[in-house]
Amino acid sequence: MAAAESLIIERPSDDIVVMKINRPQVRNALNLDVRIRLADEITRCGADDAVRCVIVTGSDVAFAAGADIGEMAQAGPVEVMSRNVQKYWRAIMDCPKPLIAAVEGFALGGGLELALCTDIIVAGEGAKLGLPEVKVGILPGGGGTQKLARLVGRHRAMLLIMSGRMFGAAEALSMGVISEVAPSGQALARALDIAREIAAMPPISIMQIKEIVNAGLNAPLDVALMLERKAFQLQFATRDQKEGMRAFMEKRKPKFEGQ
C-alpha cells in the first residue's frame, strides 16, 4: 500500500484482516474518509466467509488521537446532524465477525469510541486513553458517554468524562474498559495471537456468542437467557458441533469449517 493511504489493509493470513489507520501527521485523527473506509472495509469483511477475525490498529504513537477537529470546528448543528458520523460506528458494531482493537499510544475521544466498538481491546502498557471532548467545548458523541458508563459505572464515568482526563492501560484494565494489557509495542502482536486463537474456533459459534452477548446486555435476564438457550440449541444443527465433539472423544484437534 502507498504511504499516502489513510487506511492500510493487510492480510497476515487468509482468515485474519488487519486494518491500520495511517494519518501520522495528525496522530491518526479520524476524519470522514477514515470513518467511511473503516465502515466499508469492516462491512466487507463481515460478508466474507473466509474472514474469521478483524484487527483495527494504528501506530506506536497513536491508535487514534480523536476526531479531526479541523473538520468540525466551524460546523453548525444542522451540518453535524447531516454528516451523522455515528452511522459509521454502527456499521462497525453490526459486523458479525470478531473485532479486536490493538491500541498503542493515544486512544482519545473518537479513537477510544472506535475501540469501544470492537469486541476485544488489547492495549500496550504505555497507552493513554480518555474522552477529552469537554476540553474543546463539546461532549463525546460517538457512544462514549453511554458505553463508558455501562463499563465502569455512572460515578466513575462522570469523573472521567467531565474532567476529560486521560488514564493509562493498567487503570483501563482495572475498570473493565480494555481486555488485556501487553508490553509496549506488542499490542498488535498479542492481538494477532488472539485472532489466530479465535480463527481456529467454529465460526458459527463465535458469531452467535457475539450476537447473544451484545443483545443480552440490553435485555432483561430472562430474555437474555432465552436467547442463550436458543443459540445453544442451534449449534447442534452444525457440522462443526459434530466435528468438535467427535474430535474431543477421539483426542485429536478439530477442524472447523463454519458449517
List residues with catalytic annotation: 67, 110, 113, 133
Q: Distance between CA 28 and CA 44 in Å, rounded?
A: 22
**Side-by-side strand order, sheet with 120-124:** 7-13, 16-21, 53-57, 99-103, 120-124, 180-182
Q: Distance between CA 33 and CA 254 in Å, rounded?
A: 41
Phi/psi of residue 8, each to 5°? -100, 130
Residues 6+ positions from 209 with CB-CB distance below 8 Å: 231
Q: Specify the amino acid at residue 107.
A: A
Phi/psi of residue 111, each to 5°? -65, -45
Element (H, E) at 75: none
Q: Distance between CA 146 and CA 122 in Å, rounded?
A: 21
168 vs 106, 143, 177, CA distance in Å?
10, 20, 11
State how beta strands 106-108 and 99-103 pair: unpaired
Residues 6+ positions from 196 with CB-CB distance below 8 Å: 13, 16
Grid coordinates representing 199 are 480463527
Grid coordinates representing 195 are 485472532
